[in-house]
């Protein structure tokens, strides 16, 4: 048995005690929060090794910033753990139920999924964030982080395991794979006997690799080629505000937009005002011919690849469309099914857009940046699913659960 298979066995065992651990889980979470704060200095020390290695290996400033932990960030992580502890426990929730004509009482109840694998990249905070969401929802978790953060991750995982043990739960509820070679992640993707689901958290490359190679069920997260369609009847000022916010407030995240589509009857008035706002952040515009006619020379001609690309940067593709149907057809062709928005003052357009667009989140007159577990009121988020099975959109605690039917009778036979 390999190291990772052994972890699978231990995780399965831990998952069975977690399934009925009830309030003990919150005790463990509070112990984790306290232990993270109490041991902040050793986390910072371990993190310093990762940072030094990162500098030596030429990591970019933004990657080093994602990697960096200081007292206030550790406080933030601990605070997040306490917030999860304060959320209602999803396990045992009665989803629905009925009494059948023959007297059988059937109840559909939320239960944990079992063992969850998380593959992530250079952010050591994910070690704690992901583990506590799994723990709260009664699942054992096997974490496999990137090599850039391995010292930080090990330190945080050890602290969490001790804290979990201190309240009498199985420390193997949380395990970290210490081998950060490619082979360990490949092995995790094939751990069908022990892993109930694998959730990749990170960039496009990581997610694609997991989706393509995993034999265990995967929940695909995070790809976001999002659009704003400015309808003929749009309030231009509102459209400019929403586009400015959805493009520039944080261009690297998956709920930022990449392309806007503008109805030709409003394009001449709307595009200059939209561009004026975007110029504040020097957003590069890649436009269709009509866009260039209206906005002039600064527009870089867009080609097919621009409609397909998640820029993740201060770049926006712009297309003038002849009508509502062309906008819907464009979105249907290029959308990654994450978040799509219409700006309109027309009731029928709003209604048609929400019906016809197939995406996790469909907006009328609001920024796509709201697609987020916290913003949607889920209390916490383990990722944003862009697939249609099991979970779609922001995934909170409920999305980390399965369910079972409980059937109570007094001797019924069929």
Q: Give ∠ CA 399-362-209 in degrees, rounded to 5.
A: 55
Token pair listed for 11 = 């995780």
64 φ/ψ angles, rounded to the nearest 5 degrees = -60, -35
Spatial distance between the Cα atoms of 21 and 166, rounded to a whole number of angstroms: 14
Nearer to a second copy, 319 or 369 (CB): 369
Contact between 243 and 227 under an 8 Å Cβ cutoff? The reply is no
Helix orientation angle between 125-136 and 71-86, rounded to the nearest 10 degrees: 10
Question: Smallest distance from the beta carbon of 97 to a second copy, in angstroms?
Answer: 10
Spatial distance between the Cα atoms of 306 and 287, rounded to a whole number of angstroms: 9
Question: Smallest distance from the beta carbon of 199 to a second copy, in angstroms?
Answer: 11
Give the pairing of strands 105-112 and 94-99.
antiparallel
Contact between 184 and 177 under an 8 Å Cβ cutoff? The reply is yes
- Edge-to-edge strand order for the sheet containing 339-343? 300-301, 284-287, 315-321, 257-263, 226-230, 339-343
Nearer to a second copy, 61 or 413 (CB): 413
Question: Smallest distance from the beta carbon of 318 to a second copy, in angstroms?
Answer: 19
Site residues (vs a second copy, CB under 8 A): 16, 19-20, 98, 100, 104, 106, 111, 113-114, 196-197, 212, 215, 217, 219, 235, 238, 241-242, 244-246, 249, 332, 350, 354-356, 358-367, 369-371, 375-377, 387-390, 392-393, 402-414
The secondary element (H helix, E strand) that includes residue 287 is strand 284-287
Spatial distance between the Cα atoms of 341 and 332, rounded to a whole number of angstroms: 13
Nearer to a second copy, 182 or 250 (CB): 250
Nearer to a second copy, 297 or 410 (CB): 410
Residue 282 DSSP symbol: T
Question: Smallest distance from the beta carbon of 244 to a second copy, in angstroms?
Answer: 8
116 φ/ψ angles, rounded to the nearest 5 degrees = -115, 135
Nearer to a second copy, 315 or 364 (CB): 364
Nearer to a second copy, 159 or 307 (CB): 307
Question: Smallest distance from the beta carbon of 38 to a second copy, in angstroms?
Answer: 34
Nearer to a second copy, 308 or 356 (CB): 356
Question: Smallest distance from the beta carbon of 143 to a second copy, in angstroms?
Answer: 20
Nearer to a second copy, 40 or 254 (CB): 254
Question: Smallest distance from the beta carbon of 412 to a second copy, in angstroms?
Answer: 4
Question: Smallest distance from the beta carbon of 401 to a second copy, in angstroms?
Answer: 9
Which residue's entry shows tokens 């406080």? 75
227 φ/ψ angles, rounded to the nearest 5 degrees = -125, 150
92 φ/ψ angles, rounded to the nearest 5 degrees = 90, -10
């Amino acid at each position: 048995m390999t190291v990772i298979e052994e972890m699978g066995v231990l995780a399965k065992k831990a998952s069975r005690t977690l399934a009925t651990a009830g309030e003990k889980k919150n005790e463990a979470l509070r112990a984790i929060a306290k232990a993270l704060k109490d041991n902040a200095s050793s986390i910072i020390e371990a993190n310093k090794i990762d940072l030094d290695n990162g500098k030596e290996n030429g990591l970019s400033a933004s990657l080093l910033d994602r990697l960096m932990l200081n007292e206030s960030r550790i406080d933030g992580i601990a605070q997040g753990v306490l917030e999860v502890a304060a959320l209602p426990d999803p396990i045992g929730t009665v989803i629905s139920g009925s009494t059948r004509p023959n007297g059988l009482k059937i109840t559909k109840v939320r239960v944990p999924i079992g063992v969850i694998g998380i593959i992530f990249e250079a952010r050591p905070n994910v070690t704690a964030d992901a583990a506590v969401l799994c723990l709260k929802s009664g699942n054992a978790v096997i974490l496999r982080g990137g090599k850039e953060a391995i010292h930080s991750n090990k330190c945080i995982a050890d602290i969490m395991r001790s804290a979990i043990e201190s309240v009498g739960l199985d420390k193997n509820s949380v395990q970290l794979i210490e081998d950060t070679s490619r082979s360990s992640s490949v092995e995790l993707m094939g751990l069908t006997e022990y892993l109930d689901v694998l959730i990749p958290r990170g960039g496009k490359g990581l997610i694609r690799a997991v989706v393509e190679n995993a034999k265990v069920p995967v929940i695909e997260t995070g790809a976001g080629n999002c659009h704003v369609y400015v309808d003929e009847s749009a309030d231009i000022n509102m459209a400019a505000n929403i586009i400015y916010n959805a493009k520039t407030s944080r261009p690297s995240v998956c709920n930022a937009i990449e392309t806007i589509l503008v109805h030709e009857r409003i394009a001449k008035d709307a595009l200059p005002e939209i561009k004026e706002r975007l110029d504040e952040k020097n957003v590069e515009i890649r436009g269709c011919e009509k866009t260039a006619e209206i906005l002039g020379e600064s527009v870089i001609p867009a080609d097919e690849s621009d409609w397909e690309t998640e820029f993740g940067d201060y770049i926006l593709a712009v297309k003038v469309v002849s009508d509502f149907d062309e906008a819907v057809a464009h979105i249907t062709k290029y959308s990654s099914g994450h978040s799509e928005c219409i700006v309109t003052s027309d009731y029928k357009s709003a209604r048609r857009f929400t019906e016809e667009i197939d995406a996790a989140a469909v907006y009328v007159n609001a920024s796509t940046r709201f697609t987020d577990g916290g913003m949607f009121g889920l209390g916490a988020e383990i990722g944003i699913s862009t697939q249609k099975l099991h979970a779609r959109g922001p995934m909170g605690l409920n999305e980390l659960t399965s369910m079972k039917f409980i059937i109570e009778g007094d001797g019924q036979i069929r």
